[in-house]
Structure 1
Amino acid sequence: MDTKKTIHSLSDEILENLGRLVAIDSQLGTPAEGMPFGEGPAKALAEGLKIAEELGFKTVNLDNYCGYAEMGEGEEIVGIAGHLDIVPVGGDWTYDPFKLTRDGDYVYGRGTTDDKGPVLEALYAMKLLRDSGVKLNKRVRLIMGCNEETGSKCMEHYNQVAEELSCGFTPDANFPCIHGEKGRAFLMAYSKNTRIISMNGGFVANAVCDTCTTVVPADAGLKEKLEKALSEAKLQEYSVTKENGELTIYAKGVPAHASTPAFGVNAAGVTFECLAKAGFEDDFVEFYNSHIGTDCDGSGLGMKFADDYGDLTLCNGIVKTEDGVISCTIDIRVPVTLKEADVRKMCENRLEDNHGRIEIVEIGEPLFFPRESPLVNALYKAYTDVTGDTENQPMVIGGGTYAKSLKNIIAFGPEKTGIDYRIHGADEYLLVSGMEESVLIYMEAIRNLLAI
């Protein structure tokens, strides 16, 4: 059997099934009886399990927290964990985010790469292995989760009601292989005194604030100074309008995932920076610029740090005003060699002054597997055998995946280094050629894991 040709012949079928999943708005909704994450994620799970059943797999729904498709027999389980929930649409889409749209090798839609597409890539890898007659000395289980983007409560439930995985991967990150994930610290900043009338921007905490609207008093000469400062910033769009003694500032930056905030332009951060440059004197403007800023490295909090596996990064995702108080989310990705106590000590003297305060909400532990571990070697070999790429090596990332929630798995694909698939942004896409290659890589990965 020419596996590549077989995968190519199935490409349209895979995309048709992906379209069924993309059509469902599966972002976190209002919990209801039997639907812990709302109607959308429950519908997506039902559709995902239905597709698996149509392909001949045994399926189990675990109380609409998650479900799985399984093949093979044995005590041990090779696990593959992907998610069907999505982040809010956000941004300015060229295409309908809930209608799969193909343009040559590009296929657009929310969830195409994060993570509905990879779920189907893994499912078809299982199908092709099964159909090839490969000996299944272990069970192979594809878990479809419904709450990865907002807390991974789905995997907490899996751990309570289902069996532990022997080894496996989550197709929700990068190739060639992820052997470590930074820890995540979540903080909130609050104004104490501010002349800013209102400021609202961003749509999720784990992505750079890409648009922001701010209202301030129209001080004499401020409009012209602001327009000059904004024109020199790296914004996609901006405007300053004056009405009833107030200035309304609109800023459009560039979206990016919180694990790589330097790829984006923080519209809120730029607005604060430009207010200061324009001479707008304000306590919270000073606090934000000195403690958070636009550098993305945590230096304002005394947290600038790097180890052999990567830098600490800081992302401001949401800014909002309630009852005269401005709040800002702060998402920090912490290098794997830092412990919680280290993080707290680094910033303890920078959390509050007369102008504002910052609260540490939580600090999550990092994940790390040694490069030479059997799991890392098995997955990396699958990647290199299919692609021939030995230049790119196993890496540590800033993103968090199900690997932190389930034992004995690490993140593995499907994103290629150097390609921006626009996950968490407008016009998210996958490449059909990449999808077909990923199916082949995942086939080899499962083979290797069956042999461990």
Structure 2
Amino acid sequence: MKAIRADFKALFEQYEAEFLVDLKAVLRVPSVRGVKTYQAPFGIGPKRALETVLSIATRMGFRTGQVGDCVGWAEYGPDESQAPTYFGILGHLDVVDVEDDWHYLPFDLTQVDNFLYGRGVLDNKGPLLSTLFALYLIKTQKIIFKHRVRIIFGTDEESGSQDIPLYLQQEAAPYAGFTPDCKFPAVYGERGLLDVQLSLPITDGSEPQITAIDGQFAKSYLPDHARLLLADGTVKIYQGKKAPSNAPEMADNVLPKLVADASQLTGETGQFYQWLNAKIGNQSTGENLGINFEDAASGALQLAF
């Protein structure tokens, strides 16, 4: 990666305090998807985050707009009459909900040893606001663009991106663009996502062997604890290490442990868990299912359950 230009580094340092104030304001909005309500199709939190960022962009002097109460944009460069198409920078302001495993306040900005902590610092409020701020610094230098540059603020990425079709109903798609997301600030492509639910009818009456399976489960991460309750009174508790679902190699996933124990049950219930244990188990690349594909650009397939 090339070194940051000295003049832009010095320019950012002049505005660094302002950036951190704005980032803190955005992080303090708990923009977890909620119940649809008036003018907030994905809940109050995502809508508040969108309004907060658009207020910042307006203060910076950008042209701004909002579509469907769920997608906003800020742009710089010639207006639409001079440049009908635009270069897009797409990110999102919604975040995954938090649990009680944070060392710092999740919906705030904390600085420790030159690191920033808070829900959304990496995914995706921090990178998205950094992009807005970079465009603002370019604007302060009165640098002229030949093409429109539009930063698009989504609010439903963590729950399936139902906001983007609403945006595209009213706005043209960009002719090109990138996503400032997570660890490296420019993402040019991502692997596709396939969400599969397996169901098996139990016809032999063996299902009551399991009284309950509980824990904190979500699609966005691999869980670090779970509990299996059996009809004979046996209680099995599993502890592991949580990790994002797109980094299964970092987890000590408790579900394979639960599945291994459940595979000892009898009848069709036991057979179902035996299949899960044999075909998936601790694998995260799908060898036993015959789906362990990979390529140079996106790496190996990732499998999580």
Contact kept, 8 Å, 1:44 with 1:84, in 2: the verdict is yes
Q: Which has the higher contact order (CA 8 A, sep 6+)?
A: 1
1:311 aligns with 2:300: yes
Pick the aligned partner of 1:119 from 83, 104, 128.
128
Q: Which residue of 2 aligns with 1:7?
A: 12
Q: Which runs of 5+ in 1 are unaligned?
A: 219-245, 317-452
Residue 248 of structure 1 corresponds to 235
Once the two structures are aligned, what percentage of the paired residues are identical? 32
Q: CA RMSD in A?
A: 2.1
Q: Secondary structure at the match of 2:178?
A: strand
Find 2:253's aligned residue among 266, 275, 292: 266
In the other structure, the counterpart of 1:27 is 32
For residue 3 of structure 2, what is the aligned residue in structure 1?
none
Select the structure that is richer in strand: 1
Does the C-alpha gap of structure 1 residues 291 and 90 become closer, same or farther in structure 2, counting only changes over 3 Å? farther
Which letter maps to 1:311? A
> Structure 1 residues 55, 8: CA separation in 2 closer, same or farther (over 3 Å shift)?
same
Cα 1:171–1:177 change in 2 (3 A) is closer
| TM-score, length basis structure 2 | 0.86
Query: By how many angstroms is 1:275 displaced?
Result: 5.3
- How does 1:297-336 map onto structure 2 within 5 Å? 297-309=285-297, 310-316=299-305
In 1, Cα distance between equivalents of 2:154 and 2:92:
4
CA contact (8 A) 2:181 2:187 kept: no
Give the corresponding residue for 1:160.
Answer: 169
Q: In structure 2, what is the Cα distance between the partners aligned to 1:6 and 1:156?
A: 37
Task: For 1:100-111, list aligned pairs within 5 A.
Answer: 100-111=109-120
How many residues are matched?
A: 287
Gaps of 5+ in 2: 1-5
Change (3 A) 1:185 1:9: same
- Show CA shifts across 1:240-297 (max 9, x none): xxxxxx2332223222222221221211212222555xx5553343232123311112
- Distance across 2 between alignment mates of 1:308 and 1:168: 22
TM-score (norm 1): 0.60
1:208 to 201, 211, 222: 222
2:179 is equivalent to residue 170 of structure 1: yes
Provide the C-alpha distance between the structure 1 equivalents of 2:183 and 2:106, rounded to a whole number of angstroms: 23
- Give the whole-Å Cα distance in 1 for the aligned partners of 2:184 and 2:107: 26
Task: Determine the C-alpha separation between the residues in 2 that align with 1:264 and 1:148.
Answer: 23
Structure 1 outlier segments of 4+, above 6 Å: none
Letter in 1 for 2:304: C
Partner of 1:49: 54
Which amino acid is the alignment partner of residue 26 of structure 1? S
Q: Structure 2 matches for 1:402-417, cutoff 5 A?
A: none
CA contact (8 A) 2:71 2:152 kept: yes
